[in-house]
Chains A and B, each alone.
Chain A
């Protein structure tokens, strides 16, 4: 990965300069990256939230609960699409495990935070507080940025950034101070 670093640095700079939503939070050994909510269509009763969670400790943790004020119910859900093309979405009452030293992406077509009976519609540009509860690391209030559902480029940008920052925490510190 070493050879990728100059390239990664450029990407990271572009990402911080161009994408206001590429933001991070930390609680204990957990790093929470690019929390965002897809702007739901007007009148839609549900919304989905996404982020990437990296566990830098040598003990597994678990995202066990979600709380928010803009919707009546907040849960962790998993979407699966089987070989016949059927989509199933289910709540995960036990939450999602964040393995020791691992990264779990809550992303479209996989895990997401499910907000049901949305009282106030999140609109692109909003920053919305959501409380994430982890089994070991505890609770943290995270600001989710609301984005149009078609804005996938942001995700890709973040993927590049994270991919290359795994072994280089110095850069991550620099980026944090720049925000």
Chain B
């Protein structure tokens, strides 16, 4: 890769990140004008089950800051990369981040069993809680977080399918309200800085 190409690529990444954040604010904030003043309406009721069979609701997010990420275990690229990054952020923060809770919400409960989810998230960090629900419960938590997910059938005769889904990591304050999001293109330094701001605001 030439230096110029690297610069162009970096420029595109920065632009994409900026667009992503702008879109999150606009999309979730109900309009550019109001975004600055109104609290962003992300987060809300849900009833899910963790990898150990324990029920988790929005009440369990109170009292500590949380990271919430939607994904699925058949996802080979964005999901494992993001979970590995979350684990490295937790490592970087060390004791400073000990109150952060991390939730991985499956958008593919048909294939992601509790056991599969437990293995999957446990590989990255023992601190990641996997949340699974039935179709209705999954729709409910996605609606609460304004998260998008859609099943895409493969037409190769295998019966395989892919899931489109929101790829940002939601940062939730200890009062259960939305603080910010970390997009896929964020550098580790940017992510950790945001987490420090979340911890300070919680």
Is A43's CB under 8 angstroms from B119's CB? yes
Most buried by B among A41, A42, A52, A162: A41
Report A-chain residues with C-beta under 8 Å of the C-beta of B160.
Answer: 73, 116
Q: List 18 A-B contacts (CB under 8 A).
A: A40-B80, A43-B116, A45-B73, A48-B80, A83-B19, A83-B20, A84-B20, A88-B152, A88-B164, A89-B77, A89-B164, A90-B162, A103-B5, A108-B81, A149-B83, A163-B1, A163-B2, A163-B6
Interface residues of A in 112-150 (CB under 8 A from B): 112, 114-116, 148-150
One of A42, A79, A83 near B78 (C-beta < 8 A): A79
Cβ of B120 within 8 Å of any chain A Cβ, yes or no, is yes
Residue A105, interface by CB 8 Å? yes
Taking the complex as formed, is B154 at the interface, i.e. its CB lies under 8 A from any CB of chain A? Answer: yes
Q: B46 at interface (Cβ–Cβ under 8 A)?
A: no
Closest to B81 in A: A108
Evaluate contact between B185 and A109: CB separation under 8 angstroms.
yes
Please tell me if the beta carbons of B123 and A86 are within 8 angstroms of each other in the complex. no
Q: Is A98 positioned at the interface, with any CB of B under 8 Å from its CB?
A: no
A101, chain B: closest CB distance, angstroms: 11
**Whole-angstrom distance between the alpha carbons of A143 and B77 in the complex?**
20
Determine whether B140 belongs to the interface, using a CB cutoff of 8 Å to chain A.
no
**Known contacts A81-B20, A85-B181, then 13 further A-B pairs from the complex at CB < 8 Å, ordered by chain A residue:** A40-B80, A41-B120, A43-B115, A45-B73, A73-B156, A73-B160, A85-B24, A85-B167, A87-B165, A91-B156, A108-B78, A108-B81, A150-B87
Q: Which of A44, A48, A85 is packed against the most chain B CB atoms within 10 Å?
A: A85
In B42-93, which residues have CB < 8 Å from any A CB? 73-78, 80-81, 83-85, 87-88
Distance between A84 CB and nearest chain B CB, rounded to angstroms: 5
Give CA–CA (A166, B78) in the complex, Å. 29
Tell me the nearest residue of chain B to A151, going by C-beta. Answer: B84
Tell yes or no: A47 within 8 A of B by CB: yes
Given the contacts A87-B167, A88-B164, A150-B87, A105 and B185 also touching, CB distance less than 8 Å: no
